[in-house]
Amino acid sequence: MQIAGALLPAVVYERVPWPEIGANLYQAIAVSSDHWWVLWFYCKAGALVGTYYESTNGGGAQEAAGLGGTCTESPTAQQVHVQLPASTVGLPTLVGGYHIDGPNLSIGCDGTGQVNLDGRNLSIYTFAAVDCSACASANGIGWRELHAMLWDPATQRASFGIFYLQSPGTVKLQYALSLPDLKDLGATMFDADWKLP
């Protein structure tokens, strides 16, 4: 993908059906030597109708205006070789003001936190927040998102993940991808209280 004038390797790793808006979202990650880009492609009836992106350097999600094209999906699974460059990602500009407190998940108002995921303690650095309180959902309730980098010091692995704040008393981690091994961390629901800024 060409981003900010540079041609970067990328991998599309999630397909998210969103029936309430009649679209499929395809989530991708592109890697440069010093930061990551996360992208979302919105596809309706085979057409690319919207693209959003954000960087671990901060600035939040932005629309890539004027992009168009087609979306084609293979009916069979494909095995592909993915090669991403080594990257040294500095501490991003953190998004503060949110507070999450639970036995296995905590994020302070400074944007840092800890999560226990399958017995591993990972550090959390939130670099973007999305207000989807008015977004269409199956239960009619909107949500907030905290986009974060997760660091596992034991394995020296970094991950991107999204924490969803929708139902009181719970927080969901989803669409998380670990680099360099491309491991899907799965979806995990945490018991945790949360407060918005």
Q: What mean pLDDT is predicted for residues 159-183?
A: 95
Q: Is residue 169 predicted with pLDDT exceeding 80? A: yes
How many whole angstroms from its chain centre is CA 69? 23
Q: pLDDT tens, 42-64? A: 999 999 999 999 999 888 889 99
Rg (the chain; Cα; Å): 17
**Is 130 part of a structural domain of the chain?**
yes
The verdict on 56 and 103 lying in the same domain is no
Model pTM? Answer: 0.93
**Burial zone of 158 (CB within 10 Å; 0-12 exposed, 13-18 middle, 19+ buried):** buried
Q: Is residue 114 predicted with pLDDT exceeding 90? A: yes
The number of domains in the chain is: 2
The verdict on 53 and 135 lying in the same domain is no
Q: What mean pLDDT is predicted for residues 182-192?
A: 95
**Is 35 part of a structural domain of the chain?**
yes
The residue type of 173 is L
**Is 86 part of a structural domain of the chain?**
no
Helix (H) or strand (E) holding 109, with range, is none
To the nearest 10°, report the CA torsion of 55, 56, 59, 62: 30
**Is 75 part of a structural domain of the chain?**
no
Q: What mean pLDDT is predicted for residues 135-160?
A: 92
**Is 24 part of a structural domain of the chain?**
yes
- Angle (CA) 46 51 53, round 5°: 145
CA distance 12 to 32: 16
Of the residues 12, 36, 63, the one at which a domain ends: 63
Confidence of residue 2 (pLDDT cuts 50, 70, 90): confident
**Is 109 part of a structural domain of the chain?**
yes
Q: Is residue 77 predicted with pLDDT exceeding 80? A: no
The verdict on 111 and 186 lying in the same domain is yes
Q: Is residue 9 predicted with pLDDT exceeding 80? A: yes
Of the residues 13, 36, 63, the one at which a domain ends: 63
pLDDT of residue 15: 92
CA distance 61 to 52: 6
Enclosing domain of residue 184:
99-195
Q: Is residue 29 predicted with pLDDT exceeding 80? A: yes
**Is 94 part of a structural domain of the chain?**
no
**Is 85 part of a structural domain of the chain?**
no
